[in-house]
Structure 1
Amino acid sequence: MLNGQQLLKFTCLFIFVLTSSKMVLAEESTIEFPGTQSDYHGFSQVNFELDGVECRVVQPRGVAEGRPWIWRARFFGHEPQLEIALLKRGYHVAYTDVAGLFGSPEAIKRWDRLYEYLTNEHGFNHRPVLEGMSRGGLIVYNWAAANPDQVRCIYADAPVCDFKSWPGGKGSGPGSKGAWDQCLKAYGMTEAEAMAFQGNPIDNLKPLAEASVPLLHVVGDADEVVPVAENTAILEERYKKLGGEITVIHKPGVGHHPHSLKDPTPIVDFILKHE
Structure 2
Amino acid sequence: MKLPVVLIALLIGPGLLILFSTAQAEEKNLPVKDLVLPGESFLLDGHPAFILWPSADKRQEPQPWVLYAPTLPAYPDQHEKWMHQQLVDAGVAVAGIDVGEAYGSPAAQEAFSRLYAELTEKRGFAKKPCLLGRSRGGLWVSSWAIRNADKVAGIAGIYPVFDLRTYPGLQRAAPAYGLSAEELEKSLDEHNPISQVHRLATAKVPVYIIHGNEDRVVPLQENSQTLANTYQTAEAAESLELIVPQGQGHNFWPGFFHCQSLVDFTIDRARVGAGLKPLRQPGSLPRDQAVVYRDLPYGQTDGTPHLLDLYYPANTTGPVPVVMWVHGGGWKNGSKDRCPASWLTAHGYAVASINYRLTDQAQWPAQIDDCRTAVQWLRLNAHEFQLDAKHIGVWGGSAGGHLAALLGTLEAPAGEEISSRVQAVCDWYGPSDLLTMPPNVVGNGRTAADVAKSNGAQLLGAPVPDIPERAKQASAYYQVSQDDPPFLIMHGSQDPGVPLAQSQKLHDKLRAVGVPSTLHIVEGARHGGKEFQTPEIRQTILAFFDQYLKASKE
Q: Same fold (TM over 0.5)?
A: yes
Task: Supply the RMSD in Å over aligned alpha carbons.
Answer: 2.1
CA contact (8 A) 1:216 1:248 kept: yes
**Could you tell me the percent identity over the aligned residues?**
34
Higher mean C-alpha displacement, 138-147 vs 205-214: 205-214
After TM superposition, the structure 1 = structure 2 runs for residues 97-108 of structure 1, keeping only pairs within 5 Å, are 97-108=98-109
> What's 2:137 paired with?
136
Distance 2:103 2:143 in 1: 10
SS of 1:164's partner is: coil
> What's 1:172 paired with?
none
CA contact (8 A) 2:132 2:156 kept: yes
TM-score by length of 2: 0.39
Distance 2:155 2:60 in 1: 19
Higher mean C-alpha displacement, 234-243 vs 133-142: 234-243
Distance 1:235 1:262 in 2: 21
SS of 1:100's partner is: coil
SS of 1:235's partner is: helix
CA contact (8 A) 1:82 1:267 kept: no
Matching residue within 57, 64, 67 for 2:63 = 67
CA contact (8 A) 1:132 1:139 kept: yes
**Distance change (3 Å), C-alpha of 1:91 and 1:273:** closer
Q: CA deviation at 1:76?
A: 1.6
Q: Which amino acid aligns with 2:62?
A: G
Distance 2:268 2:94 in 1: 18
> What's 2:176 paired with?
186
Q: Is it true that 1:76 corresponds to 2:76 in the alignment?
A: yes
SS of 1:117's partner is: helix
SS of 1:261's partner is: helix
TM-score by length of 1: 0.77
> What's 1:7 paired with?
none
Distance 2:90 2:162 in 1: 30
After TM superposition, the structure 1 = structure 2 runs for residues 50-61 of structure 1, keeping only pairs within 5 Å, are 50-61=44-55
CA contact (8 A) 1:216 1:247 kept: yes
Distance 1:141 1:37 in 2: 26
Q: Which amino acid aligns with 2:151?
A: Q
Q: CA deviation at 1:131?
A: 0.6
Q: Is it true that 1:267 corresponds to 2:262 in the alignment?
A: yes
CA contact (8 A) 1:39 1:45 kept: no
Q: CA deviation at 1:208?
A: 1.8
Please list every run of 5 or more consecutive structure 1 residues that lacks an aligned counterpart in the other structure.
1-34, 169-179
Q: CA deviation at 1:161?
A: 0.8
Q: Is it true that 1:195 corresponds to 2:196 in the alignment?
A: no
Distance 1:188 1:222 in 2: 33
Distance 1:225 1:38 in 2: 27
Q: Which amino acid aligns with 2:213?
A: D
Q: Which amino acid aligns with 1:45?
A: G
After TM superposition, the structure 1 = structure 2 runs for residues 143-162 of structure 1, keeping only pairs within 5 Å, are 143-162=144-163
> What's 2:128 paired with?
127
Structure 1 residues 206-242: Cα deviation after superposition (integer angstroms, max 9, x where no partner): 3322332101111011111111111111111012212
Structure 1 residues 106-128: Cα deviation after superposition (integer angstroms, max 9, x where no partner): 00010010000000000101111
> What's 2:379 paired with?
none
Q: Which amino acid aligns with 2:83?
A: L
Distance 2:221 2:60 in 1: 38
Distance 2:96 2:33 in 1: 14
**Distance change (3 Å), C-alpha of 1:121 and 1:255:** same
> What's 1:235 paired with?
227
Distance 1:262 1:215 in 2: 17
Distance 1:104 1:40 in 2: 25
> What's 2:25 paired with?
none
Distance 1:133 1:124 in 2: 22
**Distance change (3 Å), C-alpha of 1:87 and 1:39:** farther
SS of 1:46's partner is: strand
Q: How many residues align?
A: 229
SS of 2:256's partner is: coil
Distance 2:219 2:107 in 1: 26
Distance 2:162 2:185 in 1: 14
> What's 2:196 paired with?
204
Larger relative contact order (Cα-Cα within 8 Å, sequence gap ≥ 6): 1
Distance 1:115 1:141 in 2: 15
Structure 1 residues 235-262: Cα deviation after superposition (integer angstroms, max 9, x where no partner): 1101221233211111111110126635
Structure 1 residues 133-191: Cα deviation after superposition (integer angstroms, max 9, x where no partner): 111111100000110011010001111111111111xxxxxxxxxxx544111112222
Q: Which amino acid aligns with 2:263?
A: V
Matching residue within 245, 253, 273 for 1:251 = 245
**Distance change (3 Å), C-alpha of 1:123 and 1:134:** same
**Distance change (3 Å), C-alpha of 1:182 and 1:263:** closer
Q: Which amino acid aligns with 1:63?
A: R
Q: Which amino acid aligns with 2:262?
A: I
Q: CA deviation at 1:201?
A: 1.8
Q: CA deviation at 1:66?
A: 3.4
**Distance change (3 Å), C-alpha of 1:273 and 1:100:** closer
Distance 2:123 2:223 in 1: 35
CA contact (8 A) 1:37 1:45 kept: no
**Distance change (3 Å), C-alpha of 1:83 and 1:233:** same
Q: CA deviation at 1:269?
A: 2.2
Q: Which amino acid aligns with 1:122?
A: R
